[in-house]
Structure 1
């Protein structure tokens, strides 16, 4: 076996591990949201949690996520050093990060009212909002130590990945979901299993925040145990600041953290405006989890194998093949995301009803969340398409262009939020995000067209436009079957509810891929082969 073949096989294996781990974590994450929805619906506790989680969740994604700045810095440095150098480096970085984030935690606890008013000023404008505000302040104080845990989790991700350990870091978010599910389950059992008990709502907000904190702690402890077993460092103070590896990690970590943080500001902007609409924050959270479950799984199938391919083709002599690979990435994105668009837009109400509607999450809550899910469905292609183009820039060694576009998008997103929220209420916030992603794609394609000596943009646009037409017909077919199902059979039990989603979805996929097959796209064959390989495994 040649070295390149071995490398490609290794990358395929890594992609498979990451995809399976992501699938398991996403499924349990959705189950966690089902439990939260059943317990609190779209009421004050769920809305308060959405606001209280903004800063801890931001830090967890930014610092503790795969491909985050801590992860990327440690992987890039440790992968070029002997394993014996890892422990002193990791322990020193851990000591510095823990000290800094301890200060952040103290500030969050003391100034929790200020931060809640900063991210959700609309809560103070009504009596109902004031109740949500007070719950959110208490929840933020409970979850404040997640600032420290976020950094430690990011360090664990990077350290373990640098030593070719992918399964445990990928699966570790599962422990966070289990902690939340378990804590709410214990509270329910202590109250006799009655989720509609007012006492459950009163105590549940604090238990929800405590379970989230405990879940992050479990996620870190599992990684720490693996680090210690692999002799990659433990949790003990160390101050080897003159260590060249430590200095290199810090040099990479600072700018990367700033750049990554800019991408999350749009989330805060959306929730800033959402604070002025009753139940909007909870609706965004519930709908977002449904949309991100398939999106996260499929994006790993597309992005993970393509990243090294883009990097290998960064030299000018390989740009013709790079253009082919960019087209391949965008069309694979269209072929996977557009059928989901047809399904989420036309079946949003049955999907929300099946996943969430029970106990405190009633039919009125479904009516609030379903239009938001429909809006998310419309943006699936643009969300993933933007991610693909960002990776092309990274492969070309250009992180500045995506960063500058992100800066511009902050102002565009705020403007779109302001106008669209008045027209569409909560779905308008999602439409604003779609607009930002669409603008980003247009700008990045224009820059790449100039940099790579021309792209066949008109040809690509015709193909994608044809696939959009296929999406419309697929959506019409899906909607028609769903309406007939509801008219003739109803949705009075779980089997009928599942059937109302499964059969229209099959119709949507069939129509879409029948239309797509007329184009004889090589990307369609690639997609079919990838699906077959996953099924065989």
Structure 2
């Protein structure tokens, strides 16, 4: 299967999940708006999500996948199975201890980490603590799910791992739908959502385990033991956990600061959900597929193939995210109004969320580039360099967020996160180039410059067109009319961007045809 087809497989499944995520957030906006229960739920849910990114997705995508790929190359399926069982035993035990400790310390964690601004509101604080206690075991489910996902990706079974997050959105949509149908109070709705998160975590773990069985590998529980392989995994995973969770780290910092302002946490979450669509579809797809492909190419001594994989991935992410960034900047108000403005979500809230979303849009290419650049380090079993870069960018984010929030509120936090993301991407790229791990491609540089130009042209046309359709996009228009007008704007922008990109040489049919048909070269088989 070609690299682009693999991107499309993961990206397509992720797109389905993100669309359902939009439906979920639309129901959330109607049911809870940016009220205190929305703030409490999002604050409580952010914490297990942070740990999931730190100790599950980030660590395992960075450390487990290259080591698992090495075991497949060296010892075949049997060696990989033994390694997986060793890791599973240690992981399960550590997660159980972490979960118990966090559940007992949850009041202190909410007061000092999750939402210090809630301490002055005893009811809101108490609800946040109880919701977090219910949802925190989600971390354990999702960490084990991430391990199973890494196994499937290394075995070139991408779809099951990509489609699993859909279950979270389906369960939460069901919980919100039930709450709206029965006229449940905001507090009851928040409880439905909290239990829904836990149920969804269990479902995802079951689905992924079934996928691993289908791929021909059955893993059992081994008594935890610090074998050389497990020690190597932990040595790589600890810095990788920080690196892979940079976005969540910055968001939890933003949440701590935002908790001092009513409605700020939920406003940031609504904006985050929109820009996560292109970030998830493109960035996560590239990160998930590129790491095992790059690891195998490097283990097989195919340096030229590795360089080609990196350049084509960079080309792919910018080709798709530059127009998305321009659109989020230009029509953020229209997007937020159509998606959210109903029920408890007021026009004033639309203005706040749209301003935040526009700034996130400017940071979008940087966030996606991080996903494409990190595998260049992780596949070489270097997790310390990106960790150092990440720690620097976190410091920058903290300083900017604290400095800007008193003046610009949610927009200040978004500015801090976008700036931090771009700094991380730039430093990662420069480091790879200086080490000779990313050979510069002059043709790629010219294409990127032309893609930027095409995105600017598209943005200018979109600004003019949105002005012409202002009455159809206004809050006084019907929802059907608003959706049709927004769809027309998006369709027009796609025609303009792709038309200009092909016209000025930012992309060409031959290049796309080669990338779609080109198959990644497998590493030499050994015991497989």
TM-score, normalised via structure 2 length = 0.84
Show CA shifts across 1:477-505 (max 9, x none). Answer: 21221122123785622332123212223
Q: CA RMSD in A?
A: 3.7
Say which SS state the counterpart of residue 185 (structure 2) adopts: helix
Q: In the alignment, is the contact (CA less than 8 A) between 2:457 and 2:497 conserved in 1?
A: yes
Separation in 1, partners of 2:301, 2:81: 40
Question: Given the superposition, is the C-alpha separation of residues 327 and 171 from structure 1 closer, same or farther in structure 2, using an over 3 Å criterion?
Answer: closer
Report the equivalent of 1:211: 196
Residue 326 of structure 1 deviates from its aligned partner by 5.5
Separation in 1, partners of 2:114, 2:281: 31
Residue 56 of structure 1 deviates from its aligned partner by 0.9
Any residues of structure 2 matched to 1:154-233 within 5 Å, and which? 154-189=146-181, 191=182, 194=183, 199-227=184-212, 232-233=217-218
Report the equivalent of 1:498: 483
Q: In the alignment, is the contact (CA less than 8 A) between 2:118 and 2:124 conserved in 1?
A: no
Q: Which structure ranks higher in relative contact order (CA pairs < 8 Å, sequence separation ≥ 6)?
A: 2
Any residues of structure 2 matched to 1:54-73 within 5 Å, and which? 54-65=46-57, 68=61, 71-72=64-65
Question: Given the superposition, is the C-alpha separation of residues 456 and 218 from structure 1 closer, same or farther in structure 2, using an over 3 Å criterion?
Answer: closer
Show CA shifts across 1:223-260 (max 9, x none). Answer: 33445566744665x32738xxx541342144314322
Pairing 1:451–2:435 present? yes
Separation in 1, partners of 2:465, 2:482: 13
Question: Given the superposition, is the C-alpha separation of residues 413 and 528 from structure 1 closer, same or farther in structure 2, using an over 3 Å criterion?
Answer: farther
Q: In the alignment, is the contact (CA less than 8 A) between 1:25 and 1:173 conserved in 2?
A: yes
Separation in 1, partners of 2:351, 2:151: 45
Separation in 1, partners of 2:187, 2:204: 27
TM-score, normalised via structure 1 length = 0.82
Residue 405 of structure 1 deviates from its aligned partner by 0.7
Unpaired stretches in structure 1, ≥5 consecutive residues: 1-8
* Range 224-233 or range 201-210, more displaced: 224-233
Say which SS state the counterpart of residue 260 (structure 2) adopts: coil
Report the equivalent of 2:342: 358
Pairing 1:425–2:409 present? yes
Residue 473 of structure 1 deviates from its aligned partner by 3.5
Separation in 1, partners of 2:366, 2:268: 18
Pairing 1:53–2:45 present? yes
Any residues of structure 2 matched to 1:60-459 within 5 Å, and which? 60-65=52-57, 68=61, 71-72=64-65, 75-76=68-69, 79-80=72-73, 81-84=75-78, 90-124=84-118, 126-127=120-121, 130-189=122-181, 191=182, 194=183, 199-227=184-212, 232-233=217-218, 238-239=222-223, 241=225, 247-262=228-243, 263=246, 264-299=248-283, 302=286, 308=293, 312=297, 328-395=312-379, 398-452=382-436
Unpaired stretches in structure 2, ≥5 consecutive residues: 519-528
Question: Given the superposition, is the C-alpha separation of residues 530 and 508 from structure 1 closer, same or farther in structure 2, using an over 3 Å criterion?
Answer: farther
Separation in 2, partners of 1:485, 1:248: 60
Q: In the alignment, is the contact (CA less than 8 A) between 2:359 and 2:414 conserved in 1?
A: yes
Residue 296 of structure 1 deviates from its aligned partner by 1.6
Show CA shifts across 1:39-89 (max 9, x none). Answer: 211111221122112221123233443853575277336534454566665
Residue 435 of structure 1 deviates from its aligned partner by 1.2
Any residues of structure 2 matched to 1:500-519 within 5 Å, and which? 500-517=485-502, 519=504
Residue 141 of structure 1 deviates from its aligned partner by 0.8
